[in-house]
Structure 1
Amino acid sequence: MTEHHRELAGTRVLFVLWDGGGNVGTSLLFVRDLVARGAAVTVLGNPSVEQRAAAAGAAFRPFRHSPLHDPRTPGGDLLRIQEATSPSEAARLIRDRVMFGPASPMCQDVTEAAREAGTHVVVADYVLPGALVAAEHLGLPRIVFMNAVYPLSVGESPHEAMRNGPFVPLFERMIKEALPDLNEVRARWGLAPLDATREQYTRADRCMVATHPVADPAADSVPGRVRYVGPGFAPPERRPGRAGQPGQADAPRRVLVSLSTTRHSAQPGLVRSLLEAADEVDAEFHFLGGIVPDERLPPRVRASGYLPLGELLPRTDVLVTLGGHGTFVRGLAFGVPMLLAPFEQDAFNNARRAQHLGVGRQTRLDAPADALARELRLLLADDAYRLAAGEIQDRIRREHRPAAAASVIAELVG
């Protein structure tokens, strides 16, 4: 048994999880790891994640007071992000429907679950500040779990923060406006008011950022209580170049299209344009996730339901994505050049980071087929993108720390 197995044995962790689609898989990778290291983990979340939580080895308790949400069904989708027409509107919906609107019933759920499980430490998705309030009310160590880049400014000017993308300025503006609602919830649970909403995060004992430091331009400037723990999976070995693959020099190029697990209004148009672009690009295309209409596909195009990205990326030359964090970090870890068409806040940051690192290019959601074809041909033909992606993959593999999350919890309960 390893050191961290001994340190976590008997540790009871309450992991409060919101079903936002792509974040669930990453969160449960950490749950699985903590269970394997001896922790007794209870996942408190939307009923839609119960089977996956059980498969990760955790006990499961559904929300009993918070509004129920299932993003897989139109009737069960509490957030309805497709109603947003801009990143700022998407932020407002997340604030009102997920973060602060249901914060008080979330406190009730977390308080009851923590007491029943005899919890030692609470790990809460950062979109659930009510869970942090509950842990503070109970006097339990609390960890913010951030399945994206660090969302708070770290001393840079608003202009500098915006230069990396709109996520941090939008997030801080969004939560700033929620201060009266947050303080009302805190008062209801016997806690003193805060001067700023961000204090609910900065007062937490630790913050786990579930990404690679190379993906976040703020990584060198965050406070010491912030720990980058990676995205929860071990980086693969570096892909050899085509010249080093016997019999592969003339193999067809492959473009993998993996868009959002959450539908929105712009996605069908992007899919149509990509299907048209496939006729103009010398490559095989694979559309993942059931996003292609049920109709006759063009030559060299295939479509499927959801398949693990890790099985497809080793054979992928270009990844097309909306820039969601889970897909973005997998593209980095597998050394695959990317074409990003961002829609939501952190996706714009990821797209700019990909460009800064030289591993990808950014396009618009409404880009026409000929523009998409030009971008894809460039990414396929220019070896600079492949070489830069390989260098980032090497760095990620060197910096990988498999026990990073376990170490954070061991620090608090040891």
Structure 2
Amino acid sequence: MVETWTRWREDVEREGMRFAPAPEYHVFPTRERPLKPYEAVRRATGVTRELVARERPDVVVSDILTLAPALAAELEGVPWATLIPHVDPRGDAGFPPYSVGARLPRTAIGRRWWRTFDPLVGRGLSLGRDELNETRARLGLPPLDHVHGGISRSLALVATFPQLEYPRRAPLPNTHVVGPLQWEPPFGDVEPPPGTDPLVLVAPSTAQDRDGRMLRAALAGLADLPVRVLASTNRRGETDGFDVPANARLVDWVSYSRAMPRCDLVVCHVGHGTLMRALAAGVPVVACPAAGDMNENAARADWAGVGVRLPRRLVTRTGLRLAVTRALATPSLGARARELAAWAATHDPGRRAVELVERLAAAG
């Protein structure tokens, strides 16, 4: 992401437009000084507005969860765009509620059943709109009639594979699925275990599963399979506390961009970044969602035919062994993942995003 952001800056400045990155201010709640979320947004907006007023950028681009830059831009009359760094969370008729982990139904009956949840989802969205409008009123901005007020109606960039987006009755206004915007810290090669058996990468989340439940289950469950296992603790500390079988190698860190193209399968918590990297390399996944958005990512991977879902309760030695065996024995998963990799090889999401941002700035 940082690499693409840097390219955006270089391209934008080359075109003669001014660029001002949103500052990082510590305005979120703390134990010493707890704040309600929207109170933190209000305070951050005041500070960010000073930057926007001083720099006068042609356009402001902010993350979907970062409301302060968007509100500051609106206060200063500057066009603003939203980056959605995962699948689009906005639903449509018949869509399951976002992040519950259910995939798009196949039949009209299934779609009608999920529509019974629309009033509940609608109430939640309305509550969010009312809370945002309260903050907007305190900042001197008019209220919004629509929900998802934190997503720009001028330009929304959805940084995921279009093949993971559910079909909608009508396109969302000024929304573009540009493809994954990827970045990772530089790191060298890590050699997998020797041999010719299929290579399975175990890639735990950096934010979830602090006890390493999935990692331990994978090391144990894959020990007696004809596979090679390259696993990472993702800098959780020493690797000595794990039982590493003979067919596995456990390391502290691994470069996904270097390791995944050599793999046959990725076992992960299906955070969006890890999923994008695996699919860009043409590798299917065993999706073991830990929480929140990961449930949605697992459902999309299953729906798109690029992975096998394993619910949290089944992330055990036996469960992972069966899931990996099934994934490796299903050629269509790898074929579909390679289709997405071919799409990625012929598209430049960063360039597309730059073009759209430049178009917004020119129209501003």
Q: TM-score, normalised by structure 1?
A: 0.70
Stretches of structure 2 lacking an aligned partner (at least 5 in a row): 106-113, 184-194
Correspondence for 1:283 among 199, 205, 227:
227
Please state how far the C-alpha of 1:354 moved relative to its aligned partner. Answer: 1.8
Matched-pair contact (CA < 8 Å) for 1:151–1:172: no
Match of 2:270 in 1: 323
Aligned residue for 1:21? none
Does residue 134 of structure 2 align to residue 184 of structure 1? yes
Q: Tell me how far 1:197 sits from its aligned partner.
A: 3.5
Partners of 1:393 and 1:128 in 2: CA distance:
30
Aligned with residue 146 of structure 1, among 49, 68, 84: 84
2:292 to 341, 345, 348: 345
Contact 2:96 2:104 (8 Å CA) reproduced:
no
SS at match of 1:261: coil
Structure 1 distance, partners of 2:171, 2:240, is: 47
Report deviation, 1:220: 7.9
Q: Is the 8 A contact 2:208 2:290 kept in 1?
A: no
> What does residue 228 of structure 1 align with?
177
CA displacement at 1:331 relative to structure 2 = 1.5
The answer on whether the counterparts of 1:279 and 1:298 sit within 8 Å (CA) in structure 2 is yes
Query: Quick check: 2:86–2:159 contact (8 Å CA) kept in 1?
Result: yes
Query: Matched residues in 2 for 1:233 and 1:343: separation?
Result: 22
Alignment of 1:378 with 2:336, yes or no, is no
Q: Following the alignment from structure 1 to structure 2, what is the Cα–Cα distance between the partners of residues 385 and 364?
A: 18
Question: Structure 1 CA distance, aligned partners of 2:155 and 2:332?
Answer: 38
The DSSP-based 3-state class of the residue aligned with 1:404 is helix
Q: Residues of 2 paired with 1:326 and 1:172: CA distance?
A: 29
Which deviations, in whole Å up to 9, do the C-alpha atoms of 1:373-407 show, x marking residues without a partner?
Answer: 01112222332222222223223334445511111
Indicate the SS of the match to 1:102: helix
1:123 corresponds to 2:61 = yes
Tell me whether 1:157 sits opposite 2:94 in the alignment. yes
My pick for the range that moved more, 350-359 or 323-332, is 350-359
Shift in Å, 1:110: 1.7
Residues 160 and 42 of structure 1: CA distance in aligned 2, closer, same or farther (over 3 Å): closer
Find out whether 1:32 has 2:6 as its counterpart.
Answer: yes
Residues 344, 362 of structure 1: alpha-carbon distance in 2 compared, 3 angstrom cutoff: same
Is 1:63–2:25 an aligned residue pair?
yes
The 1-side partners of 2:357 and 2:197 are apart by: 46
The residue aligned with 1:57 is none
Within 5 Å, give how 1:91-106 maps onto structure 2: 100-106=38-44
For 1:170-319, list aligned pairs within 5 A.
Answer: 174-201=124-151, 204-218=153-167, 221-233=170-182, 251-264=196-209, 268-288=212-232, 289-291=234-236, 293-295=239-241, 297-319=244-266
Query: 1:285 is paired with a residue of what secondary structure?
Result: strand
Q: Secondary structure at the match of 1:349?
A: helix
Structure 1 segment 389-404 matched on structure 2, within 5 A = 389-404=337-352
SS in 2 for 1:336: coil
Q: Given that residues 30 and 405 in structure 1 are in contact (C-alpha distance below 8 angstroms), is that contact kept between their aligned partners in structure 2?
A: no
Q: Distance in 2 between matches of 1:399 and 1:172?
A: 36
Deviation at 1:138, TM superposition (A): 1.3
Give the 3 Å change call, closer, same or farther, for CA 183–366 of structure 1 in structure 2: same
Between the aligned partners of 1:290 and 1:68, the Cα distance in structure 2 is 27
Distance 2:168 2:7 in 1: 24
Task: Report what 1:43 is aligned to.
Answer: 21
Aligned to 2:276, the other structure's residue is in SS state helix
Residues 160 and 190 from structure 1, CA distance in 2 versus in 1: closer, same or farther, beyond 3 angstroms? closer
> How far 1:277 moved relative to its partner?
0.7
Distance 1:172 1:264 in 2: 31
The unaligned stretches of length 5 or more in structure 1 are: 1-25, 45-60, 70-74, 80-95, 235-249
Mapped to 1, the partners of 2:71 and 2:58 lie a distance apart of 16
Write the distance in 1 (CA, Å) between the matches of 2:288 and 2:181. Answer: 24
Aligned AA (1:194): L
CA distance in 1, matches of 2:249, 2:95: 44
Query: Helix, strand or coil for the counterpart of 1:100?
Result: helix
Report the alpha carbon displacement of residue 358 of structure 1 after superposing the two structures with TM: 2.1
Which SS does the other structure have where 1:354 is aligned?
Answer: helix
Which amino acid letter does the alignment assign opposite residue 215 of structure 1? L
Contact residue 175 and residue 198 of structure 1 kept, 8 A: yes
- CA pair 395-340 structure 1, distance change in 2 beyond 3 A: same
Structure 2 counterpart of 1:187, which letter? A
- Aligned partners of 1:31 and 1:41 also within 8 Å: no
User: In 2, distance between residues paired with 1:263 and 1:371?
Assistant: 19
Give me the whole-angstrom Cα distance separating, in 1, the residues matched to 2:222 and 2:75.
Answer: 55
Change (3 A) 1:213 1:225: same
Mapped partners of 1:173, 1:151: distance in 2 = 16
Q: Give TM-score scaled by structure 2 length.
A: 0.79
What residue identity is the alignment partner of 1:123?
Answer: V
**1:135–1:142 CA contact under 8 A, matched in 2:** yes
Query: Residue type matched to 2:81 in 1?
Result: I
The aligned amino acid for 2:292 is Q
